[in-house]
Structure 1
Amino acid sequence: MAYISLDPGWHRSGVQTSNDHQWRRPGPTPRQRRIDLWIGLAVAALALFSLTLARSAGMFILGPGPSAPEQVFWALAATLPLIWRRRWPAVTTLVISIAYIAGQGRAAPESQITSGALFAAIYTLGAWGQDRRLARRLRIGVIGTMFAWLGLYYALVGFRELGPDAFSLAVGPVPPVLAVMVNGVLLNGLFFGFAYLFGETAWVAARRDHELRAQADQLRRSQAEAHERAVVGERVRIARELHDVVAHHVSVMGVQAAACRRVFDKDPEKARTALAAIEQTARTAVDELRRMLGLLRAVDTDEDDRRPGGADIDRVPDLVGRARDAGLKASVGVYGDVVPLPGSMSQTGYRIVQEAITNTLKHAGATLVDVRIRYLDHELEIDVTDDGRGGPASGERGLGLIGMRERVAAHDGVLEVGPRTGGGWRVRARLPLATDATGPTR
């Protein structure tokens, strides 16, 4: 259950926090100060109007009142300080409470509007007090003083001015004097209790709003850092691919060129074969290099320029064809209404199929592989299954699986990897499509 505790280490939700007493609510803005000025003047004018009505009706409940100028003074002293209620809440509360008690002691007839001013002062001190310990102590002190004044009033004044027939109509089980006293204590308890509670609640709400803003700022910074880390990570992966693929092709070309030089005069046929291999390897290396450059340019180019050559979901049948050449029974199917995909998503789909087929060839011991690409209403689903055993220990395939998860996560998708019912292995990726993805069928 939510509650308010006087312990500064606890807030309204009942959860202890170590920094409640450290946070300071910012002071009122110039606009809020102008609002307080007009509110204070309006309440003071209303107090003077209420005083005029009380004097006109002869409502001197506390006894004969002081002179008219003194009555005006106490009415203004207990209301005008509201002008500075949010700027100096502690001083405002102290001045209004002193003026209120002094006016009551002097039998000033106006007590309705000044009571409301006292309520507003206690509330504002709870909602805007910078020093929480001082704010709590001062509010408790003011409330305690008000109850002490109430008890003193009953003790000194009591019901002496009431006539002998004041309680002639009383019929309840509680003695009339006790009933009046308990009723007064109850009303005052509710009055001051709500003032304290509402003020504390307003301060907690302001503190939580501050925390939400701070968390939002931290979230934005974290997102920026995550984006930067993703860029750095992608560049590291590109550098690794350049080393493992392009450098490999260049090395092979160097070996083949050396062999060609050695047999160029002795065996022209072998030289031509070596030159053809160099040509094919060079084309492959250029394709890989173009793909790498496409990825590097993706950050600063339009969507139409981001589709890297050689890694497009439309070229999945080529992967399946190479799987057939390697001895697998391979099939591919495309289902649903085909829509244009962003270059990065198209490349991700291609890489997922490529990695899944590579794992099937290297580890699964499978005889067949089935690739299915489904264009659903709101997502692209890529499903690759085989009849193998799923490969050896995960550590041997860890980098490939990590790469797939990273690519899928970059598109807020879901990746499922594991054995399937009835035997075999499944790799399934779901990539959400943009809600406004429209265009002609490819």
Structure 2
Amino acid sequence: MASENLDDWVRPRPTAAQRRADVWTGLAVAAVAVVNLFLARRSGFYELPHRAALAEQICWVLATTLPLVVRRSHPDVVAVLISIAFVGGQFRGSQEQQVTTGVLFAAIYTLGAWGRHRNRSRFLRLGIIVGMFGWLVLSFVIFSRELGDPAERASLAFNALVVNTVFFAFCHLMGDAVWNGARQRHELEEQAAELREAQTLVAERAVLGERVRIARELHDVVAHHVSVMGIQASAARRAMDKDPARSRTALTAVEEGARTAVDELRRMLGALHSPAAGTEAQDVVPNAGIDRLPEITDRARDAGLTVRYAVYGDPVPLPESLSQAAYRIVQEAVTNTLKHAHAKALDVRVRYLSGELELDVTDDGRGSSTSDGGLGLVGMRERVAVHDGALEHGPHPDGGYRVRARFPYQAGVVL
């Protein structure tokens, strides 16, 4: 994570492609260094009395350059081996110093950029740099007589000190910069992965929420009509022989309920396929509102209940979402009465109070079927909660069951 200490991060090992590139690079540099050794000997560069034989010089050149084939896989070991070989080659008078010097700088840079243990990498680089400056001073002391007059030696020493300081500092800082860049890329990749996980979780929650919403709407839209149809079909069966006229009336009600259920189900499915579907403010049945409550009570009356429906107070325009929520709550309460309460009478009251709408549905049955885990009660609670209302449900003191919901609203505000 971005908040972690940088020293706690371990850079991943190089990829297979990077390791192959290192092998070819190391072999190519070794070949160039050997060729450059022959050119230096032929031109007389670094022609010192104590120079080693050609075979030994080739060995020192290879010992200095070939470790590059694993420079990113084992940067600490490579840096140490190249440093030792570089000093050994110079001590033995190797005439190839151009390519091998560049190899030494590359090894220090690679250790800074690819060292997997940050503290060890840092101290090892500093140790190599200090050791190289120590060798620089020692070489001037050992070979000072072979470098010309004192003024020439002083000038050469100053030049070597400045050049080496610049190059070592550049390699050290560049290695840190590359390592920090890799660290930042790692952080960005982690953040991107976390973002993808969060997006996946949000999408899963959205799908789950949509499934719950569809299930709730199916329950609200279809269950009410199917329940009424079942009760009316049962009444028609019982009255088939004794009262054919009543049986025909009940079957007609079943037919109308089935037609209404299919129509509302078709509307709901159409709304679910619509790109704008899914918002809480838009109900799947656009005309379901508080003005349609008499239709619910009429169906309950057709099912054989004695229904009393009354509106108290002066009706006021309500926001569309609130009107739809009121319709669904009354619908669910009446459905529960029809399905489970075995009631004979139903009382539905709508009260327009000062800044508050109250819905009161009471039956004289044996009690509620709406359990705390029921989908119908969950839907009621959600609709009430959306509008900052309050829901009460439970046995009525005079017998039966009561559902009462209160919704606050601002007079004159219609959305």
Q: TM-score, structure 2 length as denominator?
A: 0.61
Unaligned runs of 5+ in 1: 1-10, 168-176, 293-307, 313-342, 370-388, 402-418, 427-442
- 1:324-344 per-residue CA deviation (whole Å, 9 max, x = no partner) reads xxxxxxxxxxxxxxxxxxx33
**Cα distance in 2, alignment partners of residues 113 and 227 from structure 1:** 57
Of 214, 219, 225, which residue of structure 2 is paired with 1:243? 219
1:39 equivalent in structure 2: 25
Residue 296 (structure 2) pairs with residue 287 (structure 1): no
Shift of 1:273: 5.1
Partner amino acid, structure 2, of 1:120: A
**Cα distance in 2, alignment partners of residues 350 and 280 from structure 1:** 29
Residue 107 (structure 2) pairs with residue 121 (structure 1): yes
Structure 1 180/365 Cα, relative in aligned 2: closer, same or farther at 3 Å?
A: farther
Shift of 1:100: 0.7
Per mean C-alpha deviation after superposition, the further-off stretch among 138-147 and 78-87 is 78-87
SS at match of 1:365: coil
Structure 1 197/255 Cα, relative in aligned 2: closer, same or farther at 3 Å?
A: same
**Cα distance in 1, alignment partners of residues 245 and 3 from structure 2:** 85
- 1:174-193 per-residue CA deviation (whole Å, 9 max, x = no partner) reads xxx4x765543332122122
Structure 1 276/125 Cα, relative in aligned 2: closer, same or farther at 3 Å?
A: same
2:116 equivalent in structure 1: 130
Residue 38 (structure 2) pairs with residue 52 (structure 1): yes
1:36-435 equivalences under 5 Å are 36-60=22-46, 64-157=50-143, 161-163=147-149, 166=152, 177=154, 181-257=157-233, 274-289=250-265, 308-309=269-270, 311=271, 343-345=273-275, 347-348=277-278, 352=282, 365-366=316-317, 398-399=385-386, 424-426=413-415
Shift of 1:164: 6.5
**Cα distance in 2, alignment partners of residues 219 and 17 from structure 1:** 18
Please provide the CA RMSD for this pair: 4.4
**Cα distance in 1, alignment partners of residues 115 and 251 from structure 2:** 85
How many residue pairs get aligned? The number is 318
Shift of 1:194: 2.1
Contact residue 61 and residue 96 of structure 2 kept, 8 A:
yes
Structure 1 87/265 Cα, relative in aligned 2: closer, same or farther at 3 Å?
A: closer
**Cα distance in 2, alignment partners of residues 24 and 349 from structure 1:** 47
Q: TM-score, structure 1 length as denominator?
A: 0.58
Shift of 1:53: 2.4
**Cα distance in 2, alignment partners of residues 90 and 137 from structure 1:** 11
- 1:403-423 per-residue CA deviation (whole Å, 9 max, x = no partner) reads xxxxxxxxxxxxxxxx9xxx8
Unaligned runs of 5+ in 2: 294-313, 321-353, 358-381, 389-408
Per mean C-alpha deviation after superposition, the further-off stretch among 359-368 and 82-91 is 359-368
Contact residue 360 and residue 366 of structure 1 kept, 8 A:
no
Contact residue 44 and residue 75 of structure 1 kept, 8 A:
yes
1:437 equivalent in structure 2: none
Shift of 1:282: 1.9
- 1:381-428 per-residue CA deviation (whole Å, 9 max, x = no partner) reads xxxxxxxx9988xx9754479xxxxxxxxxxxxxxxxx9xxx8454xx
2:10 equivalent in structure 1: 23
Contact residue 28 and residue 86 of structure 1 kept, 8 A:
no
Per mean C-alpha deviation after superposition, the further-off stretch among 127-136 and 58-67 is 58-67
Structure 1 79/140 Cα, relative in aligned 2: closer, same or farther at 3 Å?
A: same
Contact residue 66 and residue 108 of structure 1 kept, 8 A:
yes
SS at match of 1:193: helix
Contact residue 226 and residue 258 of structure 2 kept, 8 A:
yes
Structure 1 192/255 Cα, relative in aligned 2: closer, same or farther at 3 Å?
A: same
Contact residue 25 and residue 206 of structure 1 kept, 8 A:
no
Contact residue 65 and residue 108 of structure 1 kept, 8 A:
yes
**Cα distance in 1, alignment partners of residues 181 and 58 from structure 2:** 37
Structure number with the bigger relative contact order (C-alpha 8 A, sep ≥ 6) is 2
Structure 1 273/81 Cα, relative in aligned 2: closer, same or farther at 3 Å?
A: same
Structure showing the higher helix proportion among its residues: 2
Structure 1 62/196 Cα, relative in aligned 2: closer, same or farther at 3 Å?
A: farther
Contact residue 319 and residue 413 of structure 2 kept, 8 A:
no
